[in-house]
Amino acid sequence: MRVIVTVVEKITSEAHIDIPDALNKSAMKQHIVDRYNTGEMVTDMNIFQVDFESISARIVPEQSSTKSA
């Protein structure tokens, strides 16, 4: 019997970055999004928490390998 198991986890990551002092709240958000979208933040991010969301299993019927001629 084959079973496909799916595990869903929520991963919380934390990044410590420097942003310019003169930015307002909206500009800070945009700066962070831009850093993330360009891939600059990915190497900075550290996973510090993983929460288990759900697990499910699906039984996959095995197909017969014998074929009639």
Three-class secondary structure of residue 69 per DSSP = coil
Residue with tokens 């934390």: 14
Whole-prediction pTM value?
0.53
At residue 41, the pLDDT reads 83
Cβ-contact 50, 11 below 8 angstroms: yes
pLDDT in tens, 42-67: 777 788 889 999 999 999 988 766 55
Cβ-contact 36, 12 below 8 angstroms: no
> Any idea which of 16-20, 33-37, 41-45 has the lowest mean pLDDT?
41-45
